[in-house]
A = this chain, B = another copy of it.
Amino acid sequence: MATATRQPLPQRLLLGPGPANVHPDIMAALQQPVLGHLDPVFQELLVETAGQLRGLFGTANELTLAVTGTGFSGMESCLANLIEPGDTMLVGVHGFFGMRMAEFAQRFGAQVVEVTAPWGEPLSAADVAAALEQNPDVKLVGVVHGETSTGVRQPIAEIAAAAHAHGALVLMDAVTTLGGLPVQVDEWGVDAAYSASQKCVGTISGLAPLTFSPRARARLAERQAALPTWYHDMEALHQYWSAQGFYHHTCSSTLVYGLKAALDLMDAEGIENRFARHQQCGDALKAGLEAMGLSLVAATGHRLPMLTTVSIPDGAADLDVRQALLAEHGIEIAGGLGPLMGQIWRVGLMGYVAQPANVTTFLDAFAGILTAQGCSVDGNAGRAAAEAALAG
């Protein structure tokens, strides 16, 4: 093969906001023989995978599946199905992904009411309730469970209750949280939720798991306007991802093998153990960064375990530090998005990557590079604090 003569690709430690490194068992699962998208064996696998996704989403929703595309494709799927032109949608905007949700909704013809909070803070359920009172036409409320641009974890249940009291449906972005934090679609009263495969779920990107409640499906059944998409037609997708197995698109068996292996690994680890692992590693990283003398961005008490945001200290140059981490240590972290570009770094510990050794490896490398670039940070204190948190 012609590729045999090229340079081997570098092995990175992927500590950005996803993709994360993929567990070797999942990589191995990708090598299983390709099956046709209508093969009865593959269709059984789809039905089984949908069942496991229900467990992960904390839902009994029959319409639970994965669309072929990335997390944004999941966001777009949900909005395209749930919005009719002229509908009013309330979107919680306290970061880049809430902004994107508002922008997508407008592209589908929604009048968008934004409820905002400072980037780094969660939304206030009282603000949402007040906005609903002022906007009686709101039919859909969108919230981001884990705002990957700020590192904030958003409580959902109270906002969902306010939306339901108003007669609105609730759409939740669980791109960053699914597989790393409890997601309780039914308990919280969420009507539609979407995620992505390459973050805490832990396989390669290319699939967006999602779920629609019976209430959300009733909304689809009542649609007056034609659906502005065929690829993301939720009921057609569901007829494919079910025992009926009607042809919709050429779903990749390889991508589903990866997702299924990731879900099997979660079952083998125990989902509570998995959540605890993410929490412990995230706590240790945060303790280390603060002990080093750096400031965290997300408000105390509202921090995501799997994605930590840290302010860029005086004297450090965003790109120089990230490039040095990549070049000298093979470690990828991410910069800020939108107004936080150049202001913060984002460090992920997602899925397979959420391991104690990766926390200390990163802290050592990071402290070394910041010091070399003339920033005054205390690497020893950082490592000690992280080790204490990991031991605790």
Contacts and interface: CB of A to CB of B under 8 A. Distances in A.
Contacts of A20: 34
A332 B265 contact: no
Interface string A72-90: 1100100010000000000
Given A31-B27, A206-B252, A252-B198, A1 B230 contact: no
Contacts of A30: 30-31, 254
A57 interface: no
Q: Is the interface of A mostly helix, strand, loop or mixed?
A: loop
- Chain A interface extent, by class: 35 or more
Contact of A206 (B18, B68, B268): B68
A71 to B, nearest CB: 7
Contacts of A4: 25
A274 B33 CA distance: 23
B19 A249 contact: no
Contacts of A104: 230
B22 A9 contact: no
Contacts of A329: none
Given A14-B34, A16-B38, A73-B249, 10 more contacts: A1-B25, A3-B25, A10-B41, A11-B33, A19-B36, A21-B33, A34-B204, A37-B205, A40-B326, A72-B250
Interface of A: 1-4, 8-12, 14, 16, 18-22, 25, 27-41, 68-73, 76, 80, 100, 103-104, 106-108, 196, 198, 204-206, 226-231, 247, 249-255, 260-261, 264-265, 267-268, 326, 332, 334, 337
